[in-house]
Structure formats: structure tokens, C-alpha cells
A and B are shown apart, each in its own frame.
Chain A
Amino acid sequence: MEENRKSAIDRARDIVENYDGPDIRIMEVCGTHTHEIFRLGIRALLPENIQLISGPGCPVCVTPMSFMDEAVYLAMEKNAVICTFGDLVRVPGSEMSLWQARAKGAQVRTVYSPLDALEIAEKYPDREVVFLAVGFETTTPGACIAVENAAKKEIKNFSLLTANKTMRSAYIQLRTSADAYMYPGHVSTMTGMGVYRELARDYGISGAVTGFTASEILTALATIIVKLGEGKPFAENCYPRVVTEEGSRPSREIVGRVMEPCDAEWRGLGVIPDSGMRLRDEFSGYDARKKFQIPKMTAKGSPGCRCGEILLGEIKPYDCPLYGRACTPEHPVGACMVSGEGTCSAYYKYGSLELIRK
């Protein structure tokens, strides 16, 4: 077994290292992939004609500034207890981040699950508790379960500020930026392979679902290279030990009961039709936008921030004038620098060797 695995990874490595065909661009759309590719030093193996692009797969990075402004508004103006995954706390808003709001007395709590937020709501029935629902197919079911549970228990002081997103429309929108995608391993456990087969068939979009070990990443890269050479759109599952053809039907069902698709703004990419999820009308009591009648926010944006182009793979982080100067992990300007999964944060942490050798 060990022998077989060894030879499989060696074969994949051979294909990747010795590729001499036309230039290809492969986009990974999962922050964990971005980091593992750096951690394993995979770029050092690639010949010049293979370019890896880090796409918009980190939920924090694609969250628009106006969303942060809404959250700050709820915290400061409506005195709501904001519950959020940790990274969002530091994303700058037009006026301030939640971190800064907290310093001014706002209640901002870091939680590991939407259900923790619901627990806080139960514990403090006289406070309004808002969970910042960001993320893709992997995190959305949890937010939906929290809403269903709240409805069942008739908890009224709990709501979601939604910015949930789905990847399918983003793949279509970004299809000219890359020749193939490394599809995210975790999201695919929810969606299954169907969405990728549809993208290949109807849109000519190619890609391979990829795991997270050195062997899995190299195997996916080799598969993409070989399949691109065959010239037909493809959808390959290179993470079959975890991702099934069907995916997780129960998680899709619960999302379907509680939420429905909507247009959504992606930071740096603009509005992508049908790429977001919002609460269905029957759950509007749990929709913070409706409940608190949040005014429309027009974010100011940070001058000079080029997160959008970075997310599209059009420029490298070090081509942005703010990177490493005004924008560092300690003092992030753009969202790509905030999250541990962000492209700029990965380049900042791991990228110095690449720069030394430049």
C-alpha cells in the first residue's frame, strides 16, 4: 500500500514537473488549498508554463465592505450582540471594523458555530443577538439549522445578517480567468459532483475536486494537465475518499427549506447573479436586514486596494501598492490580508522566499 501510494505520487509529480505543453492557468478557489500549496512548496515544482491562480474561495475575502458596515451599524446603533467567526472581526468597514467597534463598547463575540450564537440568544433574552452568516456550502447549513431551531423554540431575539454564497455562479463568472479549477474539497462534500458535471456540459468549464495532502494536490494537478491535453471539458473527482457523486442531500435539503438564491455582491468582483443565499420569506423574522430595517449602505472602499484583481488572479499580491506597506496582517486594509486563508496573507507569510529569489 505504502509502495503504491509512493509510486502514485511520483507519477503525478513527473507529469507536473515535466509538463512542456502550452501555457495553462489553474485556479484554486479554496483558501486551505492556497495555504497548503504554499506550505508544501508546490509552486517550486511547477514549470514556467503552469500558473496557479488563487481565486475567490475565502469567505472573509469576498465579503463586501458594505456588509461590515451593516454589522457595525447593528452593533453601534441597534445595540445588538454580534456573534461572528473570528476573522471577520478585523475586516475594515468604511468607518471602523468590529474590533474597533468593540473598543467603543459594542458587544462582539467570537463563536465557532451559529448554534453557539443561538445559545447566547437563549441566555440573554433581553438582548438582540445577530449572527454574521458568511461562508459557502459548508457553513450555510449550520446557519439554517440555527434558524430552524430558533423557530422551533420560538426564540425571537436571534437573527442572521446573511452574506452566504454559492460557488457555482462564480465559476461561470470567472471562467475566462483560468483554464481549469481545482475544485474545493470541503464544499464538494456538500454539493457532490453534479454541479461540476453540469458546468462541464453546459458551460465548457473544467476542473478537478482536490483534497489537501501533498499526494492529493499533485494528483489533481496531474489529472488537470492530462485532461486539458485531451481537449474536452471535464469534471474529475480526485478526492473520492471524501467526496461522493451525490454529496450531502440532507444538508442541501435543510438549506433549501430555510434559504433561497439571490444576487450577491462579492468583494472586488461586483454583483454575481444568483450567487448568494438569503432567508425565505417565512423566516423573515430572523433576517436582521428586515428586522432592524438596516438602511442601504454604500461603502467607501479603500483607495489603492486591489483585492478584486488579486481575487481574479490578474495581479499578484506584491503588485498591489498597499501590500506589505500599508496593508499587513497586523493592519490589514483589504480582506485578502485579514483572513488566515486569504491570498495576500498567504503570500505575506510564505512569499518572502519567492521574493528573495526574484
Chain B
Amino acid sequence: MEEFITMAHGAGGKQTSQLINGIFKKYFDSPYLTADDAAVLAPPAGAMAMSTDGFIVSPREFPGGNIGKLSICGTVNDLSCMGAKPLYISCACVIEEGFPVEKLDLIVKSMAETAAEAGVHIVSGDTKVAGKGQVDGIFITTTGVGELMPGVSPAGANARPGDRVIVTGDVGRHGTAILLERDDYGMEAHVTSDCAPLWEPVHKVLSTYPGVHVIRDATRGGVGTVLYEIADQSGVGVRLDSSSVPVDPQVAGVCGMLGLDPLYLACEGRLVMFVPEEDAEGVLDILHGCKHTENAADIGTVTEEHSGVVTLITELGTETVLPQPTGELLPRIC
């Protein structure tokens, strides 16, 4: 195998099959992935959920993951938020001419490892090579199909006054890790991305508490943006207790210096759940026993008043509005 991707790898000839066999097939070992034009799959028993997502993160590698892991987590988590068990994933990679094969190998390996952890099959793939400068390294699009658990229907419009708001771990880590990795600010801190597939905790929670009202993954825009979306979709207010929001001390330090709010920085392995009050403690117990959600916390409540607005109880016990950010905080974080 050559050291760098060339236009020939995308031309459909011998080099293309070398690339596919030498890298993609090496790691993607699902029985559904064949040399034919499409995967043939048995339909699931229940209703299906389907989701697609493109990934263009810069830098491609960051502490805690890379674009490959991210591309699987993103789609797995989108399906999971609907209460759908991720079954099959397809992926399309657009690779820049000159991209190091060694790096591609690492990215594809991460995709396979993450898919295995999430229990999902990668059943179909496509590679294209674009000329130098036409893409930045590699862009990946994944599409996933999942099977809805019977009797669950979490949705953004379902939050009700009295619900508890749960976040499945500390906030803002992915965005901070990316920001530090870009090294635009000359800051030294060690923050690992929270990037992780979250079907297992969702499955366990919904198996015991099928009545969870809302599950959403806090990616672009972070937890704060999700809360505003849900407040708007459900026509309710949200009141957070600022002291309960888990934030890693290093994330807090970096954000303090740059004037950013961790509530608005991207996560890639954090869910926000709106749970009926009587279920909240049980849901937290389950989350505390699952990988990736050990530090889940109850951060606030849903109110009937101030519909569409998210407020914070401050350290002084006063209530203020959680301000909404304007403009783009950080581009290309996922």
C-alpha cells in the first residue's frame, strides 16, 4: 500500500480495491458488508428510526478521539435519543488527495472499534478522493438505522412542568478539547473529549423508565442550546441550579479565561434528559452504573412560568436568565 492517498485510489481500479481491502475491509468485518452494491438486511420487528450526519471536525485528532470515532458516536447517539437501538450504519468518506494512509488507517480503526462498542454493524461504505485543497483531509458522512424500543417515545415537545433535567456528565469538554488542540490561544491544559457512544445507558434507562419525556444529545451549541430548544418546543421554562451543573475544573478555567460558558460548548457524549420527577432518582442511579454516564447529575427543573426561557439560580440564590450566545462560538467542532 502506498503512503499517501492519490486520485487513483478513487478511480475505481486496482488502487481503489487495495484501499478498500487494505483498510476498510480489514477493520469493518460485518457479515452484512459484501462486495455487492448494497447491503441486504432483515427489517427490524419494530418501527425504524433513521438518521444521517456529516463530520468535518478540525483538527481530525484530539484527546479522547478522532473524526472516525466521532462519526460513529454522532449517528449512534442521534438514534439512541429517539429510543432506537442502533443496528446498521453506512459511511461515506471524502478523502483529500495526499492524505496519509497511516492516518486513514487510524481513523477507520476507530470507527470499527466504536461501532463494536455500540453494537452496531457498518454495512455499507463509499470512498471518494477529492483533489488537493477541495476538502480538508477527510470528511465523513454516516447514516444509521435503528429499531425503536416498544412503548417509548421521547421527543423534544414532551417536557412537562415539574420534570427534572438530567445531564449525563460534565459539560463542554469536547468543545474545550478541540479549542485547546487548535492552539490559537497558547494555553496549556489537558482536557479529553467526552466523545462516546451512549446506547447502553439509554437502553438501560428506557428499559426501566419508558416514560422519560425527552432525550437529546448536546452536540453543537452544547447543553444550553438544547435546553432552549426543548423549552421552545415544549412551551415550558427551564430553571437550572448553577451549582449542580458538572464542569471539569480545567474546562472551567479555560472558559473563564476566554469568556466562554461551558453550557454552550459542544459535547459529543452527553445527553440531556427530561424525566418525570418521581423517576429522576431511579434514572440517576442507572446512569451512575453505566460507562460514560458515571457523573450524571440533576441540574434543574421544568417550570410553567417563563415559557421559552432558561434561567439559572445563582450562587446568591437569585434567578437570572441564562444568556443565549450570538454568532458562532467555534466553527468545525464536529
Which residues of chain A have a CB within 8 Å of any CB of chain B? Answer: 13, 38-42, 44-45, 214, 218, 329-330, 340, 349-353, 356
Contacts of A349 in B (CB 8 A): 321, 323-324
Q: Report the minimum CB–CB distance from A326 to chain B (whole Å).
A: 16
Q: Report the minimum CB–CB distance from A32 to chain B (whole Å).
A: 10
Q: Contacts A330-B326, A330-B327, A340-B259 given: A40-B316 contact, CB under 8 Å?
A: yes
Q: Which residue of B lies closest to A357 (CB)?
A: B306
Which residues of chain B have a CB within 8 Å of any CB of chain A? Answer: 259, 305-306, 309, 311, 314-316, 318-321, 323-324, 326-327
Contacts of A218 in B (CB 8 A): 316
Contacts of A356 in B (CB 8 A): 305-306, 309
Indicate if the CB atoms of A41 and B316 lie closer than 8 Å. yes
Q: Report the minimum CB–CB distance from A71 to chain B (whole Å).
A: 21
Q: Which residue of A lies closest to B186 (CB)?
A: A112
Indicate if the CB atoms of A42 and B259 lie closer than 8 Å. no
Contacts of A13 in B (CB 8 A): 316
Among A330, A340, A353, point to the contact of B311 (Cβ < 8 A): A353
Indicate if the CB atoms of B316 and A351 lie closer than 8 Å. no
Contacts of A41 in B (CB 8 A): 314, 316, 318-320
- Give complex CA distance A349, B259 in Å: 14
Indicate if the CB atoms of B321 and A44 lie closer than 8 Å. no
Indicate if the CB atoms of A350 and B314 lie closer than 8 Å. no
Indicate if the CB atoms of A214 and B316 lie closer than 8 Å. yes
A-B contact pairs, 20 of them (CB 8 A): A13-B316, A39-B320, A40-B314, A40-B316, A40-B320, A41-B316, A41-B319, A42-B316, A44-B319, A44-B320, A214-B314, A214-B316, A329-B326, A329-B327, A330-B326, A350-B320, A350-B323, A352-B321, A353-B306, A353-B321
- Give complex CA distance A38, B200 in Å: 40
Among B259, B315, B321, B326, point to the contact of A350 (Cβ < 8 A): B321
Q: Report the minimum CB–CB distance from B4 to chain A (whole Å).
A: 31
Contacts of A214 in B (CB 8 A): 314-316
Indicate if the CB atoms of A351 and B321 lie closer than 8 Å. yes
- Give complex CA distance A340, B327 in Å: 12
Q: Which residue of A lies closest to B305 (CB)?
A: A356
Indicate if the CB atoms of B318 and A42 lie closer than 8 Å. yes
Contacts of A45 in B (CB 8 A): 316, 318
Indicate if the CB atoms of A39 and B309 lie closer than 8 Å. no
Q: Is the interface of B mostly helix, strand, loop or mixed?
A: loop
- Give complex CA distance A340, B259 in Å: 10
- Give complex CA distance A75, B321 in Å: 39
Indicate if the CB atoms of A352 and B315 lie closer than 8 Å. no
Q: Report the minimum CB–CB distance from A16 to chain B (whole Å).
A: 10
Q: Contacts A353-B306, A356-B306, A356-B309 given: A40-B318 contact, CB under 8 Å?
A: yes
- Give complex CA distance A340, B260 in Å: 11
Q: Report the minimum CB–CB distance from A30 to chain B (whole Å).
A: 14
Q: Which residue of A lies closest to B320 (CB)?
A: A41
Inter-chain pairs besides A41-B320, A45-B316, A352-B321, 11 sampled, C-beta below 8 Å: A40-B318, A40-B320, A41-B319, A44-B319, A45-B318, A214-B314, A330-B327, A349-B321, A351-B321, A353-B321, A356-B305
Contacts of B315 in A (CB 8 A): 40, 214
Contacts of A353 in B (CB 8 A): 306, 309, 311, 319-321
B305, B320, B324, B326 interface centre (most CB from chain A within 10 Å):
B320
Q: Report the minimum CB–CB distance from B308 to chain A (whole Å).
A: 9
Q: Which residue of B lies closest to A352 (CB)?
A: B321
Q: Report the minimum CB–CB distance from A334 to chain B (whole Å).
A: 16
Q: Report the minimum CB–CB distance from A207 to chain B (whole Å).
A: 23
Q: Report the minimum CB–CB distance from B64 to chain A (whole Å).
A: 27
Q: Which residue of B lies closest to A43 (CB)?
A: B318
Q: Which residue of A lies closest to B318 (CB)?
A: A41
Q: Report the minimum CB–CB distance from B148 to chain A (whole Å).
A: 37
Q: Report the minimum CB–CB distance from A328 to chain B (whole Å).
A: 8
Q: Report the minimum CB–CB distance from A15 to chain B (whole Å).
A: 14
Contacts of A44 in B (CB 8 A): 318-320
Q: Which residue of B lies closest to A44 (CB)?
A: B318
Q: Report the minimum CB–CB distance from B189 to chain A (whole Å).
A: 18
Q: Report the minimum CB–CB distance from A355 to chain B (whole Å).
A: 10
Q: Report the minimum CB–CB distance from B294 to chain A (whole Å).
A: 28
- Give complex CA distance A40, B320 in Å: 7
Q: Which 6 A-B pairs have the closest CB atoms?
A: A41-B318, A349-B323, A41-B320, A44-B318, A329-B326, A41-B314
Indicate if the CB atoms of B309 and A352 lie closer than 8 Å. yes
- Give complex CA distance A156, B319 in Å: 54
Contacts of B321 in A (CB 8 A): 349-353
Indicate if the CB atoms of B320 and A38 lie closer than 8 Å. yes
Q: Which residue of B lies closest to A40 (CB)?
A: B314
- Give complex CA distance A44, B311 in Å: 13
- Give complex CA distance A84, B305 in Å: 43
Contacts of B259 in A (CB 8 A): 340
Q: Which residue of A lies closest to B307 (CB)?
A: A356
Contacts of A40 in B (CB 8 A): 314-316, 318, 320
Contacts of A39 in B (CB 8 A): 314, 320
Q: Which residue of A lies closest to B185 (CB)?
A: A112
Contacts of B320 in A (CB 8 A): 38-41, 44, 350, 353
Q: Which residue of B lies closest to A45 (CB)?
A: B318
Q: Which residue of A lies closest to B261 (CB)?
A: A39
- Give complex CA distance A40, B259 in Å: 15
Contacts of B316 in A (CB 8 A): 13, 40-42, 45, 214, 218
Q: Which residue of B lies closest to A353 (CB)?
A: B321
Contacts of B327 in A (CB 8 A): 329-330
- Give complex CA distance A205, B56 in Å: 57
A42, A340, A356 interface centre (most CB from chain B within 10 Å):
A356
Contacts of B314 in A (CB 8 A): 39-41, 214
